[in-house]
Structure 1
Amino acid sequence: MSGEGVIQLTPLYGANDTDAMCYLLEIDDCRIMLDCGWDERFDERHLEALATAINDVDCVLVSHADISHLGALPYAIGQLGLDCPIYSTQPVWRMGSMFMYDAWQRLTARAEFDLFSIDDVDSAFDKFKTVTYAQECHLTGRGDGIVVTPFQAGHSLGGAIWRIVKDTEQIVYAVDLNHSRERHLDGTVLEISCPRPSVLITDAYNGLTVMTTKRNERDAQLFDAIRACLDGGGNCLMPVDTAGRVLELLVLLHSKWVSARLDQSYTIAFASHVAQNTLDFARTYVEWMSEKCQKQFDQMRENPFDLKHVVICQSLEEVLALRQPALVLASSLFMEMSFAEDLFIQWASDPKNLVGRDVMMTTAPRVPCLATTLLQKPTPKSVQIVRRYRVPLEGAELREYEEKRKEQEASVAKEESESESDEEDAEEDDGMARPGGAVGQATAMFKRGLKLTPSFPMYGFKEVVRSSDIYGEAIDFSEYAPPETNPDGISANPSGAAESASALLESATTIPAVPTKALTEHLTVGVRCAVHFVDFEGRMDQSSIKTVIKRVLPRKAVLVHGSAQAKDHIQEFLERELPNTSSVLIPDNQLSSVINSETNVFNVKIRDSLNKSLRFVQVGDYEVAYVDGRIVKSDDSRNRYPTLEQVAATAVPDRPAVYLGGSRMADLKKAIARAGIDAEFINGILVCAGGLVNIRKVTDHQVSVQGALCSQYFDIRRILYDQYQIL
């Protein structure tokens, strides 16, 4: 930033807890989109703000793989014309494609859906550039000078915090965090990797949620409820997402299945259109999992997703054919137009069954849908369901369809024939430039039209490209193509490049070749089954949010994605407990919040003579030097920046020393102890050498050293100075 930098954040949507997430971050002239989500209903009206702001977006940063973080990307690219690089970790790229393929499959299998096509999904994920944790990505164009870096967020496989740095400003985008270690994921590293940011953009989704039970207790509650249902002869339906929090549940439940030896008595199944692909890909991302998972894989070759007792189901028929009683983890969270809805309709009327509603992802429990209706207290005795399904065409409708299909095939055949004819005409032209300008071109066209030009006027030779080797084996030319890389090491085509939708979904349920039509049916379903709730969403609760933000110590904070009460509660806490946080902003949807930079940064040219005289010291990630010079502006308009020139030493006034860096009092105590001097904390004061010297931290930037002028005093003062870089 030059001069007084301005940072501006606009929630296109996502300010409230019922919204998907999409925020526009503007740093000077660069426009960065933070997530681009949708909800599982794919209502086009929710994207009106996105449509108006889509122009001139320089890049998109995706934090998690679920629909609420990236679900609108296929629509934005296919319908709105979004054309920019999209950055994410590799698991987010891969699992995100699973979310979107599953969504497209279940929607088109039940209704007329044309907001985006499967080709739009492929196009969206072709634009992804995958990066690893802590890998710096240097933006180009209007983003020149901006560096974005992902760090571990927890909550989902590959989930990322994004640190965005320009000059001295550090902006951290951290939503849907989980500080706790889970079975296949470690907790977030926010407070370690991104301390003291200029701006922290985070969510208050669970700002009012108080977690009263420990993880082991919640595990036991969940499994006990499932076991009681199965022991009573009932089936258990657990609505889950496609490829996010379901992974943690599968690892947990499979381990319980093995330890309790339930595989001989009951069935556990995972049902989605891409269930097999999801688990296959999860097995390949061990390096993105917890240290415990990596250690088990390295030492014992145990993969947490070798789930031998989990049955994969990719159609409703496969689920209904399972040995019962059964626990079925079925997509989707909303329980609408999905396997979860289909199974609920069939099982809800049986009092022996249990709908184990584990709220595991983002917005599902707070958006009006079948799932939230079932979670009401008390459980409703019946629910209204709008069921959408397809039936084969019959009679006159089938005949009309066949006639239209034949007309379309004839039209396509005619176009292909004309295209082949044009190609033959083009081959007959020798392609050589002719004199005569427009007249020459017209003559050439006339000759081609009358077939007067010989096919090969110079030499009758056409090179034949061999499609097989000398042994008859087909040659795959893609194997010899060089990989696409860039100077930053960012994968433009992520490893295991994106297979086409047809390849990924080869074994999944597909729309039958028999022509069908979509119908709608309004049902009243009696709820005689039990509805059970255990919190497995994998997000920080109120206490954890406060603790983590307090440790991060942001200079400014922006709260998004939460209820008004939750955001107000966290805001009041930060203003009370963090006096050094100058402002806590709560922006509303489509209203911009301007965040003025606390530092002024100017670009200047430095003369070589001055540059050679500078003494740089390392302070954190920066090299810093104190400069005495004179700014000279050039009369040449081509010189964008003024020049900093050296001045004579006699013209430089005396100045006090500048102390940079420093360390915590605990680190200072260790350094003094290493020098053989006793040191201990008494009432917040570091008492050294048996009380001869006392060190007290007055403010964040001031330390007081008091004591007798003895040798120990000067030794301790020297150790204190060594903690700083002095200019």
Structure 2
Amino acid sequence: MLNYQCLETKSLCGTSHIELDGIHIYIDPGSDDSLEHPPVSEQPDLILLSHSDLSHLGGLVYAYHKYDWKNAHIYATLPVINMGRMTMLDAIKSNLVGDITKEQVNQVFDSIIALRYSQPTSLLGKCNGLTITAYNAGHSLGGTLWSLLKESESILYAVDWNHSKDKHLNGAALYSNGHILEALNRPNTLITDANNALVSTPSRKKRDEALIESVMSSLYKGGTVLLPVDSSSRVLELCCFLDSHWSSTQPPLPFPIFFLSPTSTKTIDYARSMIEWMGDNIVRDFGIDESLLEFRNIHTITDYSQLSSIAPGPKVILSTSLTLECGFSQQILLNFMSQNSNDLILFTQKSRCQSSLAKQFIRYWEQACKKLMDIPPPVGLYAEHNIKVKRMEALAGEELKQYQEQQLQKISRTAEDSALELRNKTILDEDLSSSSDEEDDEMGLTPEAPGAALGSALFLSGKSFDLNLRDQSVQNLQTKYKMFPYVEKRRRIDEFGEVVKQEDFVIINEPMNNFEAEASPSDSTAIDPTGKRKWSEINDGIHGQNEDELQEEIPSKIVAEDLMIRISCQVQFIDIEGLHDGRSLKTIIPQVNPRKLVLIHATDEEREDMKRTCSALSAFTKDVYLPKYGEDINVSIDVNAFSLKLSDDLIRNLIWTKVGNCEVSHMLAKIEKPSESEIQDSEANEEDAKRNDAEKEADHLPVLNPVTLRSDLARAPRAAPLLVGNTKLAELRKALLDQGISAELKGEGVLLCGGVVAVRKLSGGKISIEGGLSNQFFEVRKMVYKMLAIV
């Protein structure tokens, strides 16, 4: 049973919920800048992440802690994990999110299991029998198409994919060199988006030229160019493109480029450490060009105050967030974009700006230019807008007092829990020999202290005290009882002497590999007894601690206010989003040829247009679904699949025929249920406890035995030979051309052979050969039979 449901979230891409034979799978729990995720009806067993932007993982940390998703296994590629971590940290700082902390982000992303492309992974536990595989999706570094296989069900989840190459990425594995990848061809269910189904995007060369022309025109007029970007996905493409143009221009351009984000430096460092995940051109040039991905012309800035020290003048600023609703891009909009009418706000992503200030600006540009050209020029924007601005304000007065009291209570509870945990651990480690009582007598720790508890016992009783021992219950004690809580660990002794713990003698300061050798001695506290460290514990990445982390945290609160701003600048949109357009979508999806198609993450007009295109194809499936948010649809395939066990006698007499990567055989057998005695003998087997649940369950399956009795043979049906396999028209055309027979593809699953015979692919995998009786007809039919296995 396969059910699909798209959950409505605060992002354009709703969370996908797939229920496959009782396994609950959540894919891309996204959100907007608020980082919130709505509650779900079922706890996830498996979570998959496709891309590293907020639309695909923005709600993960919130739901992980709020709805207790800790029991679910989370899978993603390494770049999605690293870049997703940067995305979340940037969103927390940019939007001043107080409900999610940096430690919570690191906890979630440290728990994600990393996969490589084309690496089938068989899952265990409740997900037993399910195999997941990640494939390159383009669009973003580490972007993923997910293939899910379980028995007769095969699902391909492909959203936000890009079939064409970028500056730093290869195209999607779905469509490469004019062909669909064999492993992704003909899935039972294809879940994909219909974004840009109504749009025909100009060539990349034209878009690059238009972007450079608009940027340089504004700079030479003395304006500042603002490019609102995401924090870690498509911003890398813009950095590669702009840095390459600045480096190739002679004489050098005098205009600086700034990448302004709280995590800009770490984002580029992460990208430089994952060259192998990038495009063929970058991988090939790596080692030849030492300056690869160093971005010599781009200055990374993590604090908005650093812009004040830069000399005024024209400049290019890549700034987060993408929506202009928060972060540094909002501050630049407030302070820069009302001074010079030659300033330019250049948008490169449109689908991620729904219901935001950026979307309003893009809509204004579309209405003003009226699409008279493929890439219309910038238009002037002179207007007043009311926007909400968040800022941090230090606590004072009664609010500061309440905050300090809450912190003291928190510290007290933490200390009590730590002492209780230590006490319990000590009790478990106590030696059960009689020498423990003698140690108590020697130390003078008698339990008969009148009217007071001793040491840690007082601490565990719920009282708390500071360094001056100002607690009233402690002041009433005698002087000799005024001490800090301390629990002495008792020595454990066996027949060989005192028990020695190996971890107490591990040299933790000695680096275990080359990467740790580069870390400073001060990082030794992040090393565990095994010598290994988590990626997030090495001062959160490649660089050391940020300066703002070294400063004492000032108690503050978030204050939001509405401001009326005046904007006087130029606005333009050029698509550098790295997504498929309508032409590529309507060309590639029919070639994938799924048995069932589910269209999500697009407007109703785009999905209806894509459905009409698919309905017009005679050889394409008619099962096309357009689910609404929250609608649960059944997309199970109509097959009768049963689990049976073959007897040894039957297996010895089978004749196998190879079909592609598989082998098939025709058999004549009868089904028999295992007897009660056989089941009991199996359960009574001494080695039964060593077998897993799958092997035990197989003992109860019906058994296929060969037909030996004449009465059974007389009742058995007479089956005609079966043709097994999948005939591909492209391969058939090549085979016919090799035999000297002309063949031409006419589209919609029709191959015209010799001008008189037509081979047509019908729905359900059937093939029709049409034509008059002639030598060519039989030659074509013979060639089709050769491509199939006769069983």
Structure 1 residue 233, shift from structure 2 partner: 1.4
Aligned counterparts of 2:407 and 2:26: Cα–Cα separation in 1:
45
Aligned to 2:461: none
Work out whether residues 184 and 304 of structure 1, in 8 Å CA contact, stay in contact via their aligned partners in 2.
no
Structure 1 residue 544, shift from structure 2 partner: 1.7
Instruction: Give a deviation string over 1:35-81, Cα, whole Å, max 9, x none.
Output: 11111133x4xx33xx23242x2111111111111111111111110
Aligned to 1:185: 169
Work out whether residues 25 and 45 of structure 2, in 8 Å CA contact, stay in contact via their aligned partners in 1.
yes
Structure 1 residue 718, shift from structure 2 partner: 5.7
Q: Which moved more, 1:323-332 or 1:647-656?
A: 647-656
Structure 1 residue 703, shift from structure 2 partner: 5.2
Where 1:200 maps in the other structure, the secondary structure is: strand
| Structure 1 residue identity aligned to 2:401 | E
Aligned to 1:385: 387
Where 1:32 maps in the other structure, the secondary structure is: strand
Aligned counterparts of 1:374 and 1:271: Cα–Cα separation in 2:
21
- 1:362-381 to structure 2, matched below 5 A, reads 362-364=351-353, 366-367=354-355, 369-377=356-364, 379=381, 381=383
TM-score, reference length from structure 2: 0.77
Aligned to 1:232: 221
Work out whether residues 125 and 498 of structure 1, in 8 Å CA contact, stay in contact via their aligned partners in 2.
no
Where 2:568 maps in the other structure, the secondary structure is: coil
Work out whether residues 246 and 253 of structure 2, in 8 Å CA contact, stay in contact via their aligned partners in 1.
no
Structure 1 residue 325, shift from structure 2 partner: 1.9
Where 2:5 maps in the other structure, the secondary structure is: strand
- 1:53-202 to structure 2, matched below 5 A, reads 53-55=41-43, 57-82=44-69, 83-108=71-96, 113-191=97-175, 192-193=180-181, 194-202=184-192
Aligned counterparts of 1:497 and 1:422: Cα–Cα separation in 2:
28
1:503 aligns with 2:540: yes
Aligned counterparts of 1:453 and 1:342: Cα–Cα separation in 2:
56
Aligned to 1:441: none
Aligned to 2:724: 660
- 1:299-314 to structure 2, matched below 5 A, reads 300-301=288-289, 304-314=292-302
Structure 1 residue 423, shift from structure 2 partner: 7.2
Aligned counterparts of 2:536 and 2:84: Cα–Cα separation in 1:
13
- 1:544-693 to structure 2, matched below 5 A, reads 544-636=584-676, 639-648=699-708, 651=713, 654-674=718-738, 677-681=739-743
Work out whether residues 270 and 310 of structure 1, in 8 Å CA contact, stay in contact via their aligned partners in 2.
yes
Aligned to 1:357: 346
Aligned counterparts of 1:424 and 1:634: Cα–Cα separation in 2:
52
Structure 1 residue 273, shift from structure 2 partner: 1.0
Aligned to 1:278: 267
Aligned counterparts of 2:501 and 2:129: Cα–Cα separation in 1:
49
Aligned to 2:790: 726
Aligned counterparts of 2:508 and 2:40: Cα–Cα separation in 1:
53
Aligned to 1:241: 230
1:27 aligns with 2:20: yes
| Structure 2 residue identity aligned to 1:389 | R
Q: Which moved more, 1:639-648 or 1:94-103?
A: 639-648
Aligned counterparts of 2:555 and 2:135: Cα–Cα separation in 1:
48
Aligned to 1:327: 316
Give the direction of change, closer, same or farther, for the CA distance of 1:433–1:59 in structure 2 (3 Å limit). farther
- 1:293-304 to structure 2, matched below 5 A, reads 293-297=282-286, 300-301=288-289, 304=292
Work out whether residues 271 and 339 of structure 1, in 8 Å CA contact, stay in contact via their aligned partners in 2.
yes
| Structure 1 residue identity aligned to 2:740 | D
Where 2:113 maps in the other structure, the secondary structure is: strand
Structure 1 residue 414, shift from structure 2 partner: 6.4
Give the direction of change, closer, same or farther, for the CA distance of 1:118–1:501 in structure 2 (3 Å limit). farther
Runs of 5+ unmatched residues, structure 1: 1-5, 435-443, 482-494
Instruction: Give a deviation string over 1:627-670, Cα, whole Å, max 9, x none.
Output: 21101123437753211111139726543322222543443343
Where 1:568 maps in the other structure, the secondary structure is: helix
Aligned to 1:209: 199
Give the direction of change, closer, same or farther, for the CA distance of 1:706–1:496 in structure 2 (3 Å limit). farther
TM-score, reference length from structure 1: 0.83
Aligned counterparts of 1:230 and 1:391: Cα–Cα separation in 2:
36
Where 2:237 maps in the other structure, the secondary structure is: helix
Aligned to 2:441: none
Where 1:503 maps in the other structure, the secondary structure is: coil
Structure 1 residue 360, shift from structure 2 partner: 2.2
Structure 1 residue 543, shift from structure 2 partner: 1.8
Where 1:597 maps in the other structure, the secondary structure is: coil
| Structure 2 residue identity aligned to 1:679 | I
Aligned counterparts of 1:393 and 1:170: Cα–Cα separation in 2:
56
Work out whether residues 92 and 98 of structure 2, in 8 Å CA contact, stay in contact via their aligned partners in 1.
no
Aligned counterparts of 1:355 and 1:507: Cα–Cα separation in 2:
35
Structure 1 residue 226, shift from structure 2 partner: 1.1
Task: Work out which of the two has the higher radius of gyration on C-alpha atoms and give 1 or 2.
Answer: 2
Structure 1 residue 603, shift from structure 2 partner: 0.2
Aligned counterparts of 1:499 and 1:400: Cα–Cα separation in 2:
33
Work out whether residues 225 and 343 of structure 2, in 8 Å CA contact, stay in contact via their aligned partners in 1.
yes
Give the direction of change, closer, same or farther, for the CA distance of 1:666–1:236 in structure 2 (3 Å limit). closer
Aligned to 2:412: 411
Give the direction of change, closer, same or farther, for the CA distance of 1:38–1:248 in structure 2 (3 Å limit). same
Q: Which moved more, 1:373-382 or 1:532-541?
A: 373-382
Give the direction of change, closer, same or farther, for the CA distance of 1:416–1:380 in structure 2 (3 Å limit). same
Aligned counterparts of 2:489 and 2:410: Cα–Cα separation in 1:
34
Q: Which moved more, 1:116-125 or 1:147-156?
A: 116-125
- 1:472-511 to structure 2, matched below 5 A, reads 474-475=509-510, 497-500=534-537, 502-504=539-541, 506=544, 508=546, 510=548
| Relative contact order, higher structure (CA 8 A, sep 6+) | 1
Residue-pair matches, total: 676
Where 1:255 maps in the other structure, the secondary structure is: helix
Where 2:616 maps in the other structure, the secondary structure is: helix
Work out whether residues 251 and 304 of structure 1, in 8 Å CA contact, stay in contact via their aligned partners in 2.
no
Structure 1 residue 560, shift from structure 2 partner: 0.8
Work out whether residues 153 and 187 of structure 1, in 8 Å CA contact, stay in contact via their aligned partners in 2.
yes
Give the direction of change, closer, same or farther, for the CA distance of 1:453–1:529 in structure 2 (3 Å limit). closer
Aligned counterparts of 2:588 and 2:640: Cα–Cα separation in 1:
29
Give the direction of change, closer, same or farther, for the CA distance of 1:172–1:456 in structure 2 (3 Å limit). closer
| Structure 2 residue identity aligned to 1:640 | H
Structure 1 residue 528, shift from structure 2 partner: 0.9
Structure 1 residue 417, shift from structure 2 partner: 9.0
Aligned counterparts of 1:293 and 1:425: Cα–Cα separation in 2:
56
Give the direction of change, closer, same or farther, for the CA distance of 1:85–1:474 in structure 2 (3 Å limit). same
Work out whether residues 590 and 620 of structure 2, in 8 Å CA contact, stay in contact via their aligned partners in 1.
no
Work out whether residues 32 and 55 of structure 2, in 8 Å CA contact, stay in contact via their aligned partners in 1.
yes
Where 1:183 maps in the other structure, the secondary structure is: coil
Give the direction of change, closer, same or farther, for the CA distance of 1:644–1:381 in structure 2 (3 Å limit). same
Instruction: Give a deviation string over 1:352-374, Cα, whole Å, max 9, x none.
Output: 4524332426422x22x222233
Aligned to 2:692: none
Work out whether residues 724 and 788 of structure 2, in 8 Å CA contact, stay in contact via their aligned partners in 1.
yes
Aligned to 1:492: none
Structure 1 residue 406, shift from structure 2 partner: 8.2
Where 1:391 maps in the other structure, the secondary structure is: strand
Q: Which moved more, 1:65-74 or 1:664-673?
A: 664-673
Structure 1 residue 90, shift from structure 2 partner: 1.2
Aligned to 2:371: none
Instruction: Give a deviation string over 1:538-582, Cα, whole Å, max 9, x none.
Output: 111222211111111111111111111111111122122255313
| Structure 1 residue identity aligned to 2:7 | L
Runs of 5+ unmatched residues, structure 2: 369-380, 436-444, 456-486, 517-531, 680-696
| Structure 1 residue identity aligned to 2:193 | D
| Structure 2 residue identity aligned to 1:385 | I
Structure 1 residue 185, shift from structure 2 partner: 1.2
Where 2:242 maps in the other structure, the secondary structure is: helix
Aligned to 2:279: 290
| Structure 1 residue identity aligned to 2:622 | S
